[in-house]
Amino acid sequence: MLNALDVGKVVVRNIFITGANRGIGFHLLKKMVPDFNPQKIFATYREPSKSQEFLDFAAEHKDIVLPVQLDVRDLTIIQKLSSL
């Protein structure tokens, strides 16, 4: 896995992770918070009822992790995301 030193002069400011509430997305989120030290991680999830561990993690890292409820079938949510 790359860390902040491996990316050389590139400064990672913002990261966008889809499906961050479970599986690979959640593990990626937990790895990127300490290793990349980004300013903000936009982390998406679909169902709050299946996302408690993710939401707890996001609350613990509220200065970095911004949980975003996203259903790609809802165009209004996608339009709102584009304005972030």
How far is residue 26's CA from residue 67's CA, in Å, rounded to a whole number? 12
pTM of the model: 0.78
Per-residue pLDDT of the chain (84 residues; tens, 9 = 90+): 555 555 555 677 899 999 999 999 999 999 999 888 899 999 999 999 999 999 999 999 999 999 999 987 888 887 887 777
Burial class (CB in 10 A: 0-12, 13-18, 19+), 67: buried
Residue type at position 2: L
